[in-house]
Amino acid sequence: MDESARSERSKHRLNFILEGNLLNVILLITLPQAVTMLVDAVYNMADTYFVSQLGKNAISAVGINLSLMMIIRAVSLGFGIGSSSFMSRALGAQRNEDASRAAVTTVISAVAVVAVLSVAGLFALDPLVSFLGANLDSVRPFAIDYARWILIGAPVTSATVCFSQILRAEGSTAYAMVGSVSGCIINIVLDPLFISVLGFGVAGAAIAKLICNVISLVILLIPFIRKKSVTILKLSYFTPTKAIYSEIAKMGIPVMLRNGMASVSAIIINNVAASFGEVMLSAVSVSDRSARLVSSAIMGFGLGFQPIAGYNWGAKKYGRVLKSFKITLAIGAVIGTVLGASMAVLAEQVIGIFSAEQAVIETGAIFIRTQGIVLVPHVWVMILGAFFQAIGEPLRAGIMSLSRQLIALIPCVLVLSYIFGNDGLPYAQAASDIVSFAIALVLLIPMLKKIYALELSDTQ
């Protein structure tokens, strides 16, 4: 594709986001991202299902390593979403080269940082998995086997995350979905092959995930190689300057903090659950994977909204930013109500897929039901976080990133489990959603006043 054709494609996409029917724009851009995250969560559930055939200790090991995967994704998403926020605003203002420079710098930097962290982790596997929560001797060997391959494949995972975010930033969420979904579907096929047929056990699940990420990365690179993307990949565009890193950091650090604190809270939950025994640890692992089926789709919906708000904010279409925000909140409320009710009704059946032990089913069902009850505020908090990231509000985005995990979840876990023992732990996440929603409202109200003022001054 020559430069004129690339420019025409860019203008068409820009016009669609800035001028098209907002409901259509929101649905066409957010749904592919939501589907991507949903399929990834389905893969994680399938992964848990196949591993569950090896026993509850294997399930616990995979659940514990979820924290490790979250740390890798936290760093990668910090670079990727930090860059995509800037890219969306730059593309909205028709500064395409600035967006391309940010993209190239992001990928190289993220992969380099993750590679260093991976090497460090491989040299300290045993203390690493113990820190993550594998304190039981029956669980630790499984956790080490799984962690080793997760760390080996971490740079590929990081590159996949970054390229997915770059495509999303320019509005190509449908293609980003194809790349992620293709790898995950193949992964589901490979899981039983590596785990059972080839006899690799828990490590087989991690090996299958690595192959999945390699396939996804190759697919995600195709539009750049064929020059069908808006952004351009050139090694000469690697621009490790203070200005570029400052733009990435403004929105990337809040994202990294949010996902990083999610890892910290997961580690704390695993350690608290382990103190109550294998049943609680297994229930936490299974219920968390099951609940993420819903929360991942919601997160994808919020992330899909971000480039819409970012493009229009960059173009100074403040009224359109507000309208898209309101429509997204309304859609989110419907999604939260339907999925929340489904979680409450089907909780035991979902847990029963992964465990036949009644104690695990009953405990895990409580985790899922309590999260389903507060799903609407949970959806809104995610949308608000994406909103603040899109319009370049690092302080508000940072507070939102810390609100559910550091400010709300960790204290709720420690306090409720201390007061009520193992009966308190399943209610901690629901309590934290209520607290973080209250914080979100405090942050939102003055921001809305500011945007209304900008809209008014822009129309005069």
Q: Name the residue range of residue 324's domain.
A: 3-459
The secondary structure of 99-120 as a DSSP string is HHHHHHHHHHHHHHHHHHHHHH
Residues 117 and 154: beta-carbon distance below 8 Å: yes
CA distance 67 to 96: 36
Reply yes or no on whether the pLDDT at 115 is more than 90. Answer: yes
CA torsion, ordered 229, 231, 234, 237, to nearest 10 deg = 180
One-letter amino acid identity for 359? Answer: A
pLDDT in tens, 417-441: 888 877 788 788 788 888 888 888 8
The total of other beta-carbon atoms located within 10 Å of residue 65's CB is 29
Model pLDDT, residue 1: 44
CA distances from 389 to 79, 81, 271, 324 (A): 13, 9, 32, 15
E-state strands within 59-210: none
pLDDT in tens, 264-281: 777 787 777 777 777 777
% pLDDT > 90, the chain: 5
Q: How many domains does the chain have?
A: 1
CA distance 220 to 200: 29
Model pLDDT, residue 332: 83
Model pLDDT, residue 152: 92
Report the Cα 365 to chain-centroid distance in Å.
23
CA distance 381 to 369: 19
CA distances from 116 to 35, 76, 257, 295 (A): 31, 13, 19, 30
> What is the average pLDDT value for the chain, to the nearest integer?
79
Q: Which residue has the higher pLDDT, 262 or 411?
A: 411
Q: Given the structure tokens 């299958």, which residue do they identify?
A: 208
Model pLDDT, residue 258: 72
